[in-house]
């Protein structure tokens, strides 16, 4: 039994949507920053996800590998935020899980689509 690359891309796609929604809600509704403007926080946190989005949605392996690299920054942010912020650990843990799902889904998609061709 072999895993189809489409399944890995679907996992990465839903993790991408979840991470995007989490970051939008976290910075606007759930826990907005009191020191930085909301627009600046959205610009800093959402822009890296938007850069390889077009190729990622079109299942281009190069963009999927870049999306995997970008997800590592969100993994680092989630782990630092979970360690540093005692009061709110739920959102960073969700960010950790979603960034790992995005990383592994995109990586396995690239690896399995390379073996298929």
Q: How many domains does the chain have?
A: 1
Q: What range does the domain containing 23 cover? A: 5-116
Q: What's the rounded Cα separation, in Å, for the pair 9 and 55?
A: 12
d(CA 89, CA 24): 17
Dihedral sign (CA 105, 106, 110, 113)? positive
Burial class (CB in 10 A: 0-12, 13-18, 19+), 109: buried
Model confidence over 44-54: pLDDT tens digits?
Answer: 999 999 999 99
CA within 13 Å, CB half, 87? 2
Under the banding of pLDDT at 50, 70 and 90, the label for residue 32 is confident
Instruction: Indicate whether 117 pLDDT > 60.
Output: no
- Give the residue among 3, 19, 9, 10 at the shortest CA–CA distance from 100: 19
**What's the pLDDT score for residue 1?**
61
């Amino acid at each position: 039994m072999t895993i189809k690359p489409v399944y890995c891309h679907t996992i990465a796609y839903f993790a991408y949507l979840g991470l995007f929604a989490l970051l939008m809600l976290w910075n606007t509704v759930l826990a907005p920053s009191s020191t930085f403007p909301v627009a600046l926080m959205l610009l800093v946190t959402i822009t890296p996800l938007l850069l390889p989005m077009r190729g990622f949605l079109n299942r281009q392996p190069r963009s999927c590998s870049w999306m995997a690299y970008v997800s590592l920054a969100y993994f680092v942010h989630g782990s630092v935020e979970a360690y540093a912020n005692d009061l709110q650990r739920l959102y960073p843990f969700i960010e950790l899980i979603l960034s790992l799902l995005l990383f592994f889904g995109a990586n396995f998609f690239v690896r399995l689509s390379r073996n298929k061709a």
